[in-house]
Amino acid sequence: MTRPRPSRADRRFRRLLAILPFDFRREFGEEMSAVFQDEHRCTAQEGRSAVARLWFRTTFALAQLARREHLAALRSDIGYALRLVRRAPAFSLAAVTSLALGIGANAAVFGLARAALLDPLPIPDPATAVSVSVTDRQNPGLTPLSTDNFRDVRDQSTALTGVSAFRFDGARTRLNGEPENLFVVVVSGSYFETLGIRPHVGRLLGPADDVTTGGHAVAVLSHALWMRGFGGDRAALGRTIMLNDRPYAVVGVAPPEFQGTFGLARPDAFVPLAMYEAIRPGAVWADGRRWRWLNVIARLAPAVSIDDARLATRQLGDRLAVEYPEFNRDRSLTLVPLAHTVMGANQYETLSRAGWMLAGLVGALLLIACTNLANLLMARNAARAREIAVRLALGASRLRIVRQLVTESLVLSFVGGAAGLGLQSLLYSWLWAARPQALENLTVRPSIDLTVVGFTLAVSTLTALLFGLVPALRVARTDLSRTLAAGGRDVRLPARPGVRALLVTGQVALATIALVAAGLCLRSLWRADAIDPGFAHERLVAANYSVARARSPEQARQLHLDLIERARALPGVEAVAVTDRLPLTQGNAHTIDIPAAPEGTGEGVLVPFSEVSPGFFDTAGIRLLAGRDFGPDDAGAHRPPIAIVNRSMAERYWPAGQAVGGHFRARVDGSLVEIVGVVSDSKTLTLGEVAQPAMYRPLWQRAGTGQPFQWLLVSSASPESASAALRGLLREFDPDAPVNNPVILAERIDDALWAPRMLAASVGGFGVLALALASAGIYGLLAVIVGQRAHEFGLRMTLGARPGQVVRMVLRGGMTWVAAGLILGIVAGAAMTRWAQSLLYSPDRIDVAAIGGAAAVLVAAALLACLVPARRAARVDPAVAMRQ
Amino acid sequence: MARSDDPADFLPLTEAAFHVLLALADGDAHGYALLEAVRRQTDGAVRLSTGTLYGILSRLLADGLIADLARRDPDDDRRRFYRLTPLGRAVARAESARLERAVGVARAKAMLKPRRG
């Protein structure tokens, strides 16, 4: 055979052909180059421009051809895949459901983790943003900085730049004629610059706005407040907004995505730190080194790692402790990534633990789903071995067949992925709708964003490739003659049953872990429901209100006492009291020294305290165990400092029982405080906490007048009508006062259980899914094996085996793998229990009931899954089986 | 997909495909000869490019309107010869009849000059 030597044009043409699908090139490529060679030779005689035209025409036509052929191949592959899906609806439903559940759960958890933990701040370069906090040798947890310590860090730190401070506070205003409480953030001059926020309209606050105390009445509005109060009008710039009876010039609007750096509250406005005295008159804590009240943020200095910066900050904190021992003794400084403080600096550890637990569970779920898909694909490709062998024999290329099988897996996984995304969005809207009132202002909102979609697609594609391609390659290597000679019946499974048994063992282990987790969460929830909060919450109503007309603590005390009397006279009202904090919310704490405490326990103890009016304990249903309640005369700055402690505090520091009449010294002002009473324990911060020391001080003994107070009210009428009556009274007393909707305490208890309830529901749901998927896997495996060994079972029964023996044989085989998986799962589940303990309302280190329950449920489901194929094995007709 | 053997199912043909079938009506031909034949029989009005031609050939082959022959060009073994199948011939006839009917209508509406003689 002869063939002209390839010319340069020829080589160039061949390179062009590479854009055609492989099959087309194999079929026509050589021929096409021959034709082009002829064409080129003839055209060359007509000159260069003719050749150029030829190249242009040829390239254009080839591109069109390539597009059409690729599309046609894809269409035929997808059509083929869809036909297969239609032909095996049960298989397809099983595969798609497995994937949808696995992928949907992963996308949901990934989206949540991203929103709350991984990437919660819409600021540039979040990795270099840090939060500086005070650590205390005696007490765990992170606390804010005092004004002077903040200034020292700002001026002396070399590892940090842009050190800024902020503080959340409330202020009253009138919007569209209605009095309202606004969430105001006071920020130091470099706050916005440090965060890298750009104004939406106008300008943001800068260092020039934070120079003279009380001299910068300017405000930046949040985007939401700008829309709500000013209709999104640019003319808002230059207008003023009243904050606690003082006008502030609106200079700018923050971008809509920026909602401060704290995820639990949406700020309405930002004002300079220099204006704090105007927002909160008489706030003694705003100056000096005594009161720790400022949240401090900063950026890492260029080329400084967070570990180096943390070390340098700690050294600075140690230096400040030596320099100012009166205030900084036993304390130092540390820093954490700013992103970790979004859901509360001290909550990060718990939340990330919960996040990891959920991630581990949905990861396990996805693994189970993938093993199911792998099992299904392997079983099916084995069943199709003959079909594939025939197509190979008829000349189909192996590449083409592999591509078809992969397309088929891709179609399945994309459908699964799409269904998973749908599931995720359902899950989100359900979670969101069920969130408690306390989280109404959550700035962190899980949504379906591009990253989550990308992640989902990546997971589903990877699954398809891994579990579609491996079996596909194996099938494409099928030995043609043997398969065809065997009539496609005697072909061994592509993967030996050993591998698939291992897969089932793994599935059972994973499902056991998921079930143990579900059991733990459910038991934890039951326990939480039974927790006694220590106060009578059923009929308690609370409203946030403070008398702003007061100009001094004494005047405030008088006005409040008057108002309490009037509230008592409301119809149906049984008791009224005022406090600075509601149970189960964050509040203040004192660091105190207790001279009489047992050796080494009374030094520098941090004790949370509430300031309460006379009658608070009666109103809240907290029992007085010894001593007396506060009286109307105890309040006032000139009165001797007194406190009432709870039972835990009395027992820990005065074990001999002489707490009443005892003393402690408050480090914050050096005052010696006398204890006048002991009351029963109640939950302070969370329902799950173990009883801890806490104390109460009389209201108005400390300075600070504009502080918002919580009014507590017990009424024989319904909580709703009591709250309406209270609202009416406050309105009448002070028409300018914004009164937020009163809180019904029973609902707050319910809210406090929201997180554990959601955790239990999702983990429980995941556990049930894992069980269902694993059972399907066990069933699928045994069904295939029973099908393969029908011949053997028939033979056995011919030789005299009874059906019961066959059933037992199959069960034994299946349950051996289940038992192996179960043991693995129990060991891992027990380890997880200990690790997850801090998340749960659980006193035990290993929850035997949860593990035992999980094992029992799993064994029952596995037995059922084995029994169905086992009974089928026993029904094999020996005559039929032998004939096959 | 089941292959159809009713010529009407393939109509209408694209102009290029129709001319390829017509070119093969004269006898077996290889790729380059087809390019040339189409150009000649349309006075250069239809100029196929290699890519276009093989897109058409692959479809005609798949539809069974043409067949490739085992015979190769002795000068260049890459050149395959194609032949019109009976189905292909029937389709070409059906397409010709369809066009003739259309031309008849056009003539009745005086869209064409009347035929001389």
Per residue in B37-92, pLDDT (tens digit) is 999 999 988 888 999 999 999 999 989 999 988 777 777 778 889 999 999 999 99
Does A322 score more than 90 pLDDT?
A: yes
Distance from CA of B26 to the nearest CA of A (A): 20
- Considering only residues A651 and A286, tell me which one the structure prediction assigns the higher pLDDT: A651
Q: Read off the pLDDT of each residue in A709-714 and give the average, rounded to a whole number.
A: 82
Is pTM beyond 0.95? Reply is no
Locate the domains of chain A by residue range. Answer: 8-69, 126-342, 349-530+754-883, 547-736
Does A836 score more than 50 pLDDT?
A: yes
CB atoms within 10 A of CB A728: 12
Does A133 score more than 60 pLDDT?
A: yes
Which residue from A197, A256, A249 is spatially nearest to A232, judged by alpha carbons?
A256
Does A345 score more than 90 pLDDT?
A: no
pLDDT of residue A417: 82
Does A36 score more than 80 pLDDT?
A: yes
Q: For chain A, what is the radius of gyration of the CA atoms? A: 36
Query: Confidence class of residue A58 from pLDDT cuts 50, 70 and 90?
Result: very high
Query: Confidence class of residue A799 from pLDDT cuts 50, 70 and 90?
Result: confident
Which residues, at least 6 apart from A638, have a Cβ–Cβ distance to it below 8 Å?
A: none
Nearest residue on chain A to B36, judged by CA atoms?
Answer: A39
In this prediction the ipTM stands at 0.89
Does A430 score more than 80 pLDDT?
A: no
Range ranked top by mean pLDDT from A147-161, A273-287, A500-514, A712-726: A147-161
pLDDT of residue A190: 94
> Count of domains in chain B?
1
Beta strands in A580-640 (DSSP E): 588-593, 605-612, 624-627
Give first-to-last CA distance, chain A, whole Å.
Answer: 52
Asked whether the beta carbons of A849 and A523 are under 8 A apart, the reply is yes
Asked whether the beta carbons of A107 and A455 are under 8 A apart, the reply is yes
Q: A30 contacts in B (CB within 8 Å)?
A: 78
pLDDT of residue A705: 46
Asked whether the beta carbons of A531 and A750 are under 8 A apart, the reply is no
Is B5 part of any domain? Answer: no
Does A729 score more than 70 pLDDT?
A: yes
pLDDT tens digit sequence for A475-528: 566 565 565 555 444 444 444 556 667 778 888 888 888 888 888 888 877 777
Asked whether the beta carbons of A21 and A47 are under 8 A apart, the reply is no
Percent of chain A topping pLDDT 90: 23
Give first-to-last CA distance, chain B, whole Å.
Answer: 49
User: Between chains, do B32 and A35 touch, taking CB under 8 Å as contact?
Assistant: yes
Q: Read off the pLDDT of each residue in A744-757 and give the average, rounded to a whole number.
A: 74
pLDDT of residue A210: 92
Beta strands A129-136 and A295-300 are antiparallel
Q: Read off the pLDDT of each residue in A709-721 and give the average, rounded to a whole number.
A: 80
Query: Confidence class of residue A843 from pLDDT cuts 50, 70 and 90?
Result: low
A74, A297, A671 from A600: Cα distances, Å: 77, 35, 21
Q: B20 contacts in A (CB within 8 Å)?
A: none
- Considering only residues A740 and A521, tell me which one the structure prediction assigns the higher pLDDT: A521
- Considering only residues A734 and A129, tell me which one the structure prediction assigns the higher pLDDT: A129
Range ranked top by mean pLDDT from A52-66, A453-467, A703-717, A797-811: A52-66
Q: Is some CB atom of chain A closer than 8 A to the CB atom of B58? A: yes
Which residue from A126, A189, A197 is spatially nearest to A162, judged by alpha carbons?
A189
pLDDT of residue A4: 59
Point out the residue among A3, A27, A62 whose CB comes nearest to the CB of B78: A3
| CATH number, position B87 | 1.10.10.10
Q: Pick the residue of B14, B46, B50 with the most A CBs within 10 A to test the interface with A by mutation.
A: B50
Does A703 score more than 60 pLDDT?
A: no
Q: Is some CB atom of chain A closer than 8 A to the CB atom of B52? A: yes
**Pair of tokens at residue A111:** 């989206």
Under 8 Å CB pairs connecting chains A and B tally to: 73
Asked whether the beta carbons of A153 and A301 are under 8 A apart, the reply is no
Does A195 score more than 90 pLDDT?
A: yes
Nearest residue on chain A to B34, judged by CA atoms?
Answer: A35
Q: Pick the residue of A5, A25, A38, A77 with the most B CBs within 10 A to test the interface with B by mutation.
A: A38
Q: Is some CB atom of chain A closer than 8 A to the CB atom of B57? A: yes
Q: A4 contacts in B (CB within 8 Å)?
A: 76
Q: Read off the pLDDT of each residue in B23-39 and give the average, rounded to a whole number.
A: 91
User: Between chains, do B78 and A33 touch, taking CB under 8 Å as contact?
Assistant: yes
Question: For all residues of chain A together, what is the average pLDDT?
Answer: 82
User: Between chains, do B78 and A24 touch, taking CB under 8 Å as contact?
Assistant: no
For residues A143 and A292, what is the distance between their CA atoms, to the nearest angstrom?
7
Point out the residue among B52, B76, B79 whose CB comes nearest to the CB of A65: B52
Angle between helical axes of A848-874 and A790-798 (0-180°, round to 10) = 70
Range of the domain at B30: 12-108
Angle between helical axes of A89-113 and A348-383 (0-180°, round to 10) = 160
Is B3 part of any domain? Answer: no
State the greatest distance between any 2 C-alpha atoms of chain B, in Å, as a whole number.
52
Which residues, at least 6 apart from A415, have a Cβ–Cβ distance to it below 8 Å?
A: A96, A99
Q: A32 contacts in B (CB within 8 Å)?
A: 31, 50-51, 54
Which region among A398-412, A442-456, A658-672 has the lowest average model confidence (pLDDT)? A442-456
Amino acid at site A593: D
Q: B54 contacts in A (CB within 8 Å)?
A: 24, 28, 31-32, 35, 65
Is B4 part of any domain? Answer: no
Per DSSP, helices labelled H in A384-449 are 385-393, 398-433
The torsion region of residue A47 among left (phi > 0), alpha (psi -120 to 50) and beta comes to left
Is B113 part of any domain? Answer: no
Distance from CA of B88 to the nearest CA of A (A): 20
Nearest residue on chain A to B52, judged by CA atoms?
Answer: A61
For residues A828 and A588, what is the distance between their CA atoms, to the nearest angstrom?
41
Q: Is some CB atom of chain A closer than 8 A to the CB atom of B88? A: no
Q: Read off the pLDDT of each residue in A541-563 and give the average, rounded to a whole number.
A: 72
Point out the residue among A30, A35, A64 whose CB comes nearest to the CB of B35: A35
Which region among A164-178, A598-612, A676-690, A843-857 has the lowest average model confidence (pLDDT)? A843-857
pLDDT of residue A629: 92
Which region among A369-373, A669-673, B103-107 has the lowest average model confidence (pLDDT)? A369-373
Q: Is some CB atom of chain A closer than 8 A to the CB atom of B96? A: no
- Considering only residues A316 and A835, tell me which one the structure prediction assigns the higher pLDDT: A316
pLDDT of residue A548: 61
Which residues, at least 6 apart from A375, have a Cβ–Cβ distance to it below 8 Å?
A: A500, A503, A777, A780, A781
Which region among A31-45, A467-481, A640-654, A803-817 has the lowest average model confidence (pLDDT)? A467-481
Per DSSP, helices labelled H in A114-188 are 147-156
pLDDT of residue A683: 83
Query: Confidence class of residue A684 from pLDDT cuts 50, 70 and 90?
Result: confident
Point out the residue among B31, B51, B74 whose CB comes nearest to the CB of A65: B51
Percent of chain A topping pLDDT 70: 87
pLDDT of residue A720: 76
Strand arrangement, sheet containing B66-72 = B29-30, B80-84, B66-72
User: Between chains, do A34 and B79 touch, taking CB under 8 Å as contact?
Assistant: yes
Distance from CA of B77 to the nearest CA of A (A): 6
For residues A180 and A790, what is the distance between their CA atoms, to the nearest angstrom?
78
